[in-house]
Amino acid sequence: MKLYGIPNCNTVKKARDWLDTNNIPYSFHDFKKQGIDEATISNWLTQYPWEKLINRAGLTWRGLDDATKSGIIDNTTATTLMQAKTSVIKRPILVKEGKILALGFDENAYKETFKL
């Protein structure tokens, strides 16, 4: 199982703490250090629309100019943006065997996912 995110993100910290507290093994993929490949994003886009994968409430999105924002219209343009500015991706993303188990962190959803 892999948790994708940014180490200094509070929501990612909550997810990591929850997984650690509940002794659930995972590896951490740091968007800032490791980036994200197109194949992974393409896989995610088969499970969630780009509108859910891009965090439009976050500082990164809000910091983009209007022309860039209005240019994100489909999976291709969203993929390009997510690869160029990984902090625009909603996080954390918890993945097991290519399947997204959770997008973002909600303690109750994690409990449900892991039957705790």
Question: Active-site residue numbers?
Answer: 9
Taking alpha carbons only, the member of 112, 111, 113 closest to residue 100 is 113
The stretches of the chain forming alpha helices (DSSP H) are: 10-21, 31-34, 38-45, 50-53, 59-62, 66-70, 75-84, 107-113
Q: Return the half-sphere exposure (C-beta side, CA atoms, 13 A cut-off) of residue 46.
A: 7
Helix and strand numbers, DSSP H then E, in the chain: 8, 4
